Chains A and B, each alone.
Chain A
Amino acid sequence: MKQTGFRRTSAAFALSAVLALVAACGTSSSDEGGDEAADPADAAAPLDPETEVTLTIDCMPPAAEKAELKEWNEDVEAFNKKYPNVTIEGKQTDPCLEPPRFTAMLKAKSQPDAFYTYFTDLQQVLDNDGAADISAYVNDETVPALKDIDPQVLDVLREDGKLYGLPTSNYTMGLLINRKLFEQAGLDPDSPPTSWDEVRTAAKAISGLGDGVSGFGEYSAGNNGGWHFTAAMYGLGGDIVSDDTTKAAFNDETGLEYVENLHAMRWEDDSMGKTQLLKWGDLQKQMASGKLGMFLAAPDDITYMVQQLGGDYADYGMGPMPGGQATLFGGNDYLIKKGSSHDQIKAAIAWLNFKFLTPGTGQFDWARTKADGLPVGLPQPDFWTGESKRKDDELRAEHSTMPVENFRPFRENPVPGRAEPPKAQEIYKVLDTVMSGVLTNEDADPAELLDTAEDQVNQVLANQ
């Protein structure tokens, strides 16, 4: 017994040693970046075509998006003709970015070499020390169309004068309308409402169609409500925080006017439907199933409704942001992981340039987009200026697959873009309660809601 006893004991210990082994099987938490860009002198030069390097990159289209995936693969092949030794290792992520997943990725430093972010994410990435400064690598040689990229868009990707990423798309918000319902309600779909009074009148007419149709829809949950409140305030020329970002600035005439208008549409006119607490995705579903007349959106919501939800391009149109003073802009970009090697950074820039930043190729190869049955003609992305804009507009018009006329009111009344306020998510959380309050509680007092929200946003801004 003695001997077996001991042997069994050690067996039990061995068993537990499995734990240690197990741990060894996880991924290492230290990154294998290797040689950090040690040679800035050479940074400005474009990627040597002979370079042998592997580049991981996320937001590769998922299998469900067949055409987009085919284009991605074609582009990789074309890219490899010029750079035969660069391996582009795409990661399919769908959706490309989800905040909790994104946060986890940054904390774990498990982002790929080139990673997809929203314009608003840069601060969070830098807080986690996650992005490489690529200022020295980006110039007219590595990105020939650089001078034609809207400076406002590039500025979003700068911090303290250093450039951290390259844009792939951008948008400004406007008023998305259901043309079919407009016609049915006897409204003119070619001139969408441009003020909130007109929105209210149109919404009333559309909800009058009955059969569960609402005229206008708005978010009020998941911070989406606050986001759209901000967009609407910009449209009216209002502001969310003061210029020195120390105080809330939305509790004024403009804010009150907007919230009262929502209250009237929801409760007096009953033109916003009974179901509230909606988040991104809900209004799109309502409109795609023909139950919603209007909502605030970016142009790519239309693609989403057509491709994922079975809508039809001909049914949708867009007008400028009601009020027309300014509009929230946003977009997507790729940043490059801090610690990536010299060659990885160069390869990433070469790939991003080829795929996303060259009129006529990659995502701007509108002839191919059309041939693959994907939409051409949406006013997004929209970051070109000068010569590139002229060229791109021409190509888009030539290959357009949809009645671009429907977006004329949106395109011809460009509204200046504005970025999101600081501490956006925390402020949106507070503003969500204004939206859910006015949309779910008939007795809610708009002035009181704004007073409370103002106090709370002041607290958020002071709370550090």
Chain B
Amino acid sequence: MSRPAAPSAGRPAGHRRPRRGEFARALRRNLTAHGFLIGAVLCFSLFSWYPMVREFILAFQKNEDGETVWAGWSNISYIFNDPAFWDAWRNTFLFTGLALLLGFAVPFAVAIVLNEFRHGRAYLRILVYLPVMLPPVASVLLFKYFYDPGHGLFNRVLEAFGLPAQDWLQSSDTAMLSVVIAATWMNMGAATLIYLAALQGIPGELYEAAELDGAGLFRKIWHVTIPQTRLILSLMLLMQIIATMQVFVEPFLLTGGAGPENSTLTVVQLIYQYAFTFNNYGSAAALGVVLMLVLAVFSAVYVRLDRGSED
């Protein structure tokens, strides 16, 4: 996926015979083609590519009395000396891990279950996707009310089942998990529907063959369902990692960003704090660079593994 999609049609120029004025034609064709591209390319240049480059530049600059000056490594040393730096990384990895556990496994399991039903499928699919369409402020604030240990809904429900009340966002032990639960509820719809579509592409004969071999339910899942959807699963895994690394709204609104004893302070929250609370853009950019590098490593590892498994 990180590579451009392979073109499905044949090469354009391949089956054309060279003619006179070929060069002029090619030039014109290219001018036209780039003419169509230029709007998007300009936008990408200004608002995507240039900011990427600028992030690296900013990381080595600072503001002194209204003037921008070179800062050398001072921004980098600032972030590595910030006591919150390691907290933020620990939390980000914890969040990513939990989000993968929940946000990856839950939609897949839900998709497998939904795929078995012969009734009410449209309804169930709509239900699962519903939260994706809510404005995030609405869903996050709803969860904030539900998590309230006093009159929140969740502890009422636990009580009704005779289970002990939880602290949810109020304890450093459970705060991150609570954020992940809310994020999963909000975002699982898309992944579920994608898995559902993938499951429908599995040929029924494979299950029949597995049954002839005497495979039970879980062996069928393990030996047929998962291998058959491996491609989409691995792609979604990468997408999930990238998506969870940039989570902002959920902790920002649920715990005010840092949470109990900094337990929900993520790298992105820290970037936000540096830039917009401390007014320190240089350090914010430096931390952004570090995060970009870490993500690049993830992507590279993914591509490597993906290639390896295809061979």
Contact = CB atoms under 8 A, between A and B. Distances in A.
B261 A12 contact: no
**Most chain B beta-carbon neighbours within 10 Å: one of A124, A221, A455:** A221
A341 interface: no
A9 B172 contact: no
Nearest to A453: B83
A444 B171 CA distance: 11
A221 B257 contact: yes
A5 B278 contact: no
Nearest to A11: B35
Contacts of A19: 39, 42-43
Given A129-B65, A274-B150, A456-B83, A441 B172 contact: yes
A454 to B, nearest CB: 11
B246 interface: no
Given A440-B172, A455-B83, A16 B31 contact: no
B228 to A, nearest CB: 44
B81 A441 contact: no
Interface of A: 2, 5-6, 8-13, 15-16, 18-19, 99-100, 103, 124, 126-129, 212, 220-223, 273-277, 279, 425-426, 429-430, 432-433, 436-437, 439-441, 444, 452, 455-456, 459, 463-464
Nearest to B67: A129
Contacts of B83: 430, 452, 455-456, 459
A12 B167 CA distance: 59
B28 interface: yes
Contacts of A15: 35, 39
Contacts of A279: 256
**Most chain A beta-carbon neighbours within 10 Å: one of B36, B66, B84, B260:** B260
Contacts of B256: 221-222, 277, 279
A19 B35 CA distance: 13
Contact of B66 (A5, A12, A127, A459): A127
12 contacts: A2-B28, A9-B31, A10-B35, A13-B35, A13-B38, A126-B65, A221-B259, A276-B170, A277-B259, A436-B259, A437-B260, A440-B172
Contact of B32 (A12, A275, A463): A12
A431 to B, nearest CB: 11
B167 A103 contact: no
B38 A436 contact: no
Contact of B279 (A2, A8, A124, A212): A124
**Most chain A beta-carbon neighbours within 10 Å: one of B43, B171, B172, B256:** B256
A277 B255 CA distance: 6
A127 B170 contact: no
Interface in B60-105: 63, 65-66, 74, 78, 81-84
Contacts of A127: 63, 65-66, 279
Contact of A100 (B32, B82, B259, B276): B276
